[in-house]
Amino acid sequence: MSHDLSRLGWDDSLASAYRRFDRPDAAPARVLRADRGFCTVLGDAGVLRASLSGSVLLGAAGDPVNLPCAGDWVVTRRWPDRRVTLEVVLPRRTALIRRTSDKDSTGQLLAANMDTIAVVEPIHPEPDDARIERLLALAWESGAKPLLVLSKSDTAADPDAIARQVAELAPGVPVVAVSVRGTPGVERLRSYVEGGRTLALLGRSGAGKSTLVNALAGAAVMPVQAIRDADGKGRHTTAYRNLVPLAGGGAVLDTPGIRGVGLLDTAEGLDRAFADIAELAAHCRFGDCHHGAEPGCAVAAALANGSLAPRRLASWRKLRHEVEIETARRRARQAAAAGHRRRRG
Ligand SMILES: Nc1nc2c(ncn2[C@@H]2O[C@H](COP(=O)(O)OP(=O)(O)OP(=O)(O)O)[C@@H](O)[C@H]2O)c(=O)[nH]1
Ligand SMILES: [Zn+2]
């Protein structure tokens, strides 16, 4: 079965990135799913299984973020014995990376080359403010446009009112309530996959990501967990990331249900996720204002007049602290690596 890659977002700039690797036995493809040592990819010729070449493995030895991931555009090569290898990962336009629990690790790549990244949060029993803020910071950092999806909207009496409330946590981010049972339906998300674009879903286990993928695809392509308990909590089911091409063009990318996500060096993502506070801070009298008891502090003034919620400021401080620790760790790692090179060298 032949597949037109432009329906998945292949364009001129990808074609020109590919050109220097082109040869008669090479072909471009997009990674649908990455497993240890091989990937399932979709190319002009259809779905193939490609093993990772030595150079890809070597490139990943220093940093696992270089391993191919769902959503990556890659160069494949077909060998005379019909084996297919994945030779090159083309430069990523966007990348969703979280910090792993392992403190020496740089990060884990969850998705690549998405145009929009939807933070999916169930509307019931109650959207978790802190989780939304954290995931939005991660989403902003990816370089893709964030979107906040309140899932299972059929379980709330007035989903659009909740959406308006939650919008305060998400400056500059569209908020949409959707349900796979009744209205408003998943068609509200359709515009994010039109024109060959890719929508990635990020959220906790049981948020309803796989159900959304299935509803958008119009078929059961992802396993969905059975309803287990009434409190809305679910079991972990999606163990891998998966890019699902849609019949009308575009694709949706499911990520594994994550329990905790650590922020990496998301200083920029954090500033965008908390654009309301960043904007206030720009008006403080002192450039290095700590928004404590300093005179002329615009953040303190907003707290005093009620336009900034204390909870929101506390949440920002907590995430900033986390990012600062992470930045210090990274610097220490880099210094240690440089010292190691000097001693050897
Ligand atoms: N009422 C209602 N239930 C939903 C809706 N969407 C999903 N659910 C239910 O929520 C549960 C979890 O859905 P999943 O799609 O498996 O969640 P997930 O985010 O993919 O979870 P992981 O795969 O663990 O990351 C399932 O029991 C779904 O039937 C919805 O729109 N309305
Ligand atoms: Zn201040």
Q: What is the DSSP letter of 147?
A: E
Confidence label for 218 from pLDDT (cuts 50, 70 and 90): confident
Distance 139 CA to ligand 2 centre (A): 26
Whether the CB-CB separation of 76 and 26 falls below 8 Å is answered with: yes
Distance 298 CA to ligand 2 centre (A): 5
Q: What are the angstrom distances between the C-alpha of 255 and each of 246, 325, 337?
A: 17, 26, 32
The span from the CA of 27 to the CA of 45, in Å, is: 9
Mutate to test the pocket of ligand 1, among 187, 211, 237 (most ligand atoms within 8 A of CB): 211
**Residue pointed to by tokens 């996720």:** 273
User: What's the whole-number mean pLDDT along residues 58-65?
Assistant: 89
Pure H helices in 142-191: 159-166
Model pLDDT, residue 92: 97
For the question of an ipTM over 0.90, the answer is: yes
pLDDT tens digit string along 129-188?
999 999 999 999 999 999 999 999 999 999 999 999 999 999 999 999 999 997 778 999
Sorted by sequence, the CB contacts under 8 Å of residue 195 that are 6+ apart come out as 249, 250
Confidence bin at 107 (pLDDT 50/70/90): confident
Mean pLDDT of 306-334: 89
List pLDDT tens digits, range 7-57.
Answer: 999 999 999 999 999 999 999 999 999 999 999 999 998 899 999 999 999
Whether the predicted pLDDT of 237 surpasses 50: no
Instruction: Please say if the pLDDT value at position 345 is more than 70.
Output: no
Domains and CATH numbers, the chain: 5-89 (2.40.50.140), 95-254 (3.40.50.300), 267-344 (1.10.40.50)
What token pair was written down for 268?
């920029």
Q: In 3D, which of 115, 135, 73 has the Cα closest to residue 253?
A: 115
Residue 210, token pair as written in the block: 């796989």
Q: Tell me: is residue 209 an annotated ligand-binding position.
A: yes
> 210 near 151, Cβ under 8 Å?
no
Q: Ligand 1 test: best mutation among 98, 153, 225, 244, most atoms within 8 Å of CB?
A: 225
Distance CA 308, CA 200 (A): 31
Q: What stretches of 44-188 show up as alpha helix (H) in DSSP?
A: 54-62, 129-141, 159-166
